[in-house]
Amino acid sequence: MTIQNLCLVLALFLLLNLGVGMWRVLRGPTAADRMLAAQLFGTTAVAILLLLAEASSSAALRDVALVFALLATVTAVAFVRRAWVFLENDNDSK
């Protein structure tokens, strides 16, 4: 088995994991659970893109993976800032 085939098999396995993670997004009991699953999607997408970049020797896929990683960071910070405001408002009303 060549390295390209191994990368493609691993990318397919991670893609299947995304399908399982979709269940958590749809059924997550809290917004934090859903956000954590969405972050998992971002991380898995970056891993898939890096594996595909290695299999096809494409630098463009590495660039897209970097953009996804940066967007995931911004999304997490925005969620925490929003959740922090809601928690402060809940504590002030008690």
Mean pLDDT of the chain: 85
Q: Which residue has the higher pLDDT, 3 or 93?
A: 3
pLDDT value of residue 94: 57
Domain ranges of the chain: 3-93
User: Does the pLDDT of residue 90 top 70, yes or no?
Assistant: no
pLDDT tier at 38, thresholds 50, 70, 90: confident
Please classify residue 81 by burial: count the beta carbons closer than 10 Å to its beta carbon, then call 0-12 exposed, 13-18 middle and 19+ buried: exposed
